[in-house]
Amino acid sequence: MLRDYPISPPDTTSPRASLESFLVLMAEADRVWQEVRDEFRDSDQAFLSEDQSRRVEVVRLLISKAREIFDLSDIPETARTSVGVEIVLQFQEILDRIFLPSLEQIPGQRAGSFLHAKEASDLPERWTLPGTSIVFQRSDATKGDLKYLVSRETVDRIPEDYESVKMFPTRSDKGEDFYEYYIYTPGYLVAPRWYDLILAGPDWLQNQFMSQAYWQWIALTLLVLVAVSIPVMLQRWNRWRAVPLSDVHRRLRGFQQPLLQLIVVITFRYLVDEQINITGAPMIAIGTFSSVVMWVSLAWLAYQSVDLLASYVTKNPAMPTASLDSSLLLSAFRLFGLAFAVITLGYGATRIGIPIYGVIAGLGVGGLAVALAAQPTLENLIGGVILYADRMVRVGEYCEFEGFSGTVEAIGIRSTRLRALDRTLITVANSDLAKRKIVNFSRRDRFLFRHTIGLRYETGRDQVMSVVREIHGFFSSHPKVLNQIALRVSLVGYGTYSVDIEIFSYISTSDRDEFLMIQEELLLEISRIIKENGSDFAFPSNVTYLGRDSGLPTAKGEERPQGKNKAPLHGDRTDDLMDMASEA
């Protein structure tokens, strides 16, 4: 059966078929194993030959088939393979030390018959091996399949039962405990050549504690120290190194930590499983913890990969980094990377044994509380979507809102960052920014040129009209002045100390720096026109007029009182004051 159908499962359609399949599989596995082990031990080879490695794989296949006879659903999936091997070997040693009834006395047909569920309807739901607590439990039939497996309760008791019977002699003549050799020697089934160094060492290295030899505990401790120190040393080294200026190089450096952790944990797990061969409860703990680290590293690496891809795409010359599309694309990549990492962690949790789907279902019960707690975050997320959808602002644009102004540097998932003119960084939540009145100076399609110039009052009428005509003509001929929309150069009034001329026009540019250069050119040309026409700019001035105080008026029939303070001014003094006033 094994030669003709090497990938077929063991026959478990009845208690007899399950027990007989296990005995046949393990008898063949024990025979092949002893042949390979004795050949390698008696030879001078440093490693197993190709034929020996192939036969070891056959033994591994036989043991994995024998493992299918047990209900291992209570064992975490991360440690199910290694613990299953121990259960198989312990169960073999138990059966080798107890009385087994004749196979004809066990319910069911012989192994290899593969009964259909309808044909086995008269079989019991469970069968107990006489004189023991070993139970073969009938599992639910799926798609016509029928399975009698060693029950979960029996699997839980197998290590205790083995400890109870291992001191008794075996019924076979193999002369050694297959399970004991497996757990106290390195390698898988066949000890590697370096194990001779352990055997040549002190005898106390072979002493046992918690189903492990002393040398195994020492090797495990050293491996743990090395596995922990390598990522810590890398983290400290990166802290001492200078931060790369390139954004892509910074993200490439972010790959180092999760990638190194992943390599370390895979190497650590290989050395613990295949070389030192840690078994039992320590192996379950190590398998669970290493699986947690591995899946967290994979999730971290997945997020960093998406982040690196986002950086590469946004740095592409075809996608300007100062555009809203680039910012939106970066945020979308980060959301995708976060979702990818969460999905990876969720899958890893199911592999470890955490009922992640039950946790998700439980979140539905407290969904209202979670929604209320996450309300600010959701508001900011929706606010960011509104900013993207309405295209209110872009990265690189200069905006003003409620007394704050600056250039938009980034539009993130939760907040928007602006760089003010004094180089301070302003961070505003997206939900708040979406509600505010935003003045976007960068969206102007043209700039307004509106100035009022004042000429001196000494400027004559012809001079004023000449200034107006020449300024209008210059503006009309300038390529950047939109004269067809609104160009107005006119006398608008007489000011306190000047004749006011207003110039109103639009400059065809959306770049503020270009507008300032054009405005400078226009203002200088206006100054030239004014001075060439014999006028100049007015400046604030005051004219003071002095007059003679005639005193208070007198009533009818009364004479004006005479006093020293009301004495009339002399004629020559009055003339002098009038001359001074006229000069002023």
**Could you report the per-residue pLDDT of 25-68, keeping only the tens digit for each?**
998 888 898 899 888 888 888 888 999 999 999 898 999 999 99
> Is the confidence at residue 267, as pLDDT, over 90?
yes
d(CA 269, CA 30) in angstroms, rounded, equals 26
d(CA 540, CA 576) in angstroms, rounded, equals 27
User: Which single residue is written with the structure tokens 């040398």?
Assistant: 215
User: Which single residue is written with the structure tokens 């770049």?
Assistant: 511
d(CA 298, CA 347) in angstroms, rounded, equals 11
- The mean per-residue pLDDT over the stretch 147-171 comes to 88
- Work out the percent of the chain whose per-residue pLDDT is above 90: 13
Q: Residue 1: which pLDDT band, with cuts at 50, 70 and 90? A: low
> Is the confidence at residue 277, as pLDDT, over 80?
yes
End-to-end CA distance of the chain: 130
User: Which single residue is written with the structure tokens 């070891």?
Assistant: 56
DSSP 55: H
CA count, 13 A, side-chain hemisphere, 486:
10
d(CA 450, CA 475) in angstroms, rounded, equals 12
97-130 pLDDT, tens digit per residue, is 888 888 888 888 888 777 765 666 778 888 999 8
Please give the single-letter amino acid code of residue 312: Y
Higher pLDDT, 310 or 213: 213
CA quadruple 321, 326, 327, 330: dihedral, nearest 10: -110
Provide the pLDDT for residue 228. Answer: 92
d(CA 529, CA 506) in angstroms, rounded, equals 20
d(CA 522, CA 472) in angstroms, rounded, equals 11
Alpha-carbon separation of residue 468 from 248, 489, 492, 506 (angstroms): 59, 6, 11, 18
Secondary element (H or E) of residue 405: strand 404-411
Provide the pLDDT for residue 573. Answer: 44
- CA 311 from chain centre, in angstroms, equals 13
421-445 pLDDT, tens digit per residue, is 788 888 887 777 777 777 777 777 7
Q: Residue 153: which pLDDT band, with cuts at 50, 70 and 90? A: very high
- The mean per-residue pLDDT over the stretch 560-567 comes to 50
DSSP collapsed to 3 states, 158-218: HHHHHHHHCCCCCCCCCCCCHHHHHHHCCCCCCCCCCHHHHHCCCHHHHCEECCEEHHHHH
C-beta of residue 216 within 8 angstroms of C-beta of residue 277: yes
Q: How many helices (H) and strands (E) does the chain have?
A: 17, 13
d(CA 432, CA 430) in angstroms, rounded, equals 5
- The mean per-residue pLDDT over the stretch 492-503 comes to 89
- The mean per-residue pLDDT over the stretch 228-244 comes to 84
- Helix, strand, coil % (nearest 5) of the chain? 55, 10, 35
What's the longest Cα–Cα distance across the chain?
164
Provide the pLDDT for residue 578. Answer: 46
345-359 pLDDT, tens digit per residue, is 877 777 776 666 555
C-beta of residue 326 within 8 angstroms of C-beta of residue 319: yes
Provide the pLDDT for residue 182. Answer: 84
The winner for highest mean pLDDT among 226-240, 305-319, 544-558 is 226-240
Higher pLDDT, 84 or 542: 84
Secondary element (H or E) of residue 417: strand 415-419
User: Which single residue is written with the structure tokens 């026959």?
Assistant: 11
Provide the pLDDT for residue 568. Answer: 47
Please state, rounded to an integer, the average pLDDT across all residues of the chain.
Answer: 79
- The mean per-residue pLDDT over the stretch 502-520 comes to 87
Higher pLDDT, 380 or 105: 105
Q: 380: phi > 0 → left, psi -120 to 50 → alpha, else beta; which?
A: alpha
Predicted TM-score (pTM) of this structure? 0.56
Strand partners, 504: 450, 488
DSSP 443: G
Provide the pLDDT for residue 196. Answer: 83
C-beta of residue 455 within 8 angstroms of C-beta of residue 467: yes
Higher pLDDT, 156 or 326: 156
Q: What is the DSSP string of 288-330?
A: HHHHHHHHHHHHHHHHHHHHHHHHHHHTSTTS-TTSHHHHHHH
Q: What is the DSSP string of 513-534?
A: HHHHHHHHHHHHHHHHHHHHTT
489 by Cβ neighbours in 10 Å (0-12 / 13-18 / 19+) ranks as buried
Provide the pLDDT for residue 223. Answer: 92
DSSP-derived 3-state class of residue 17? helix
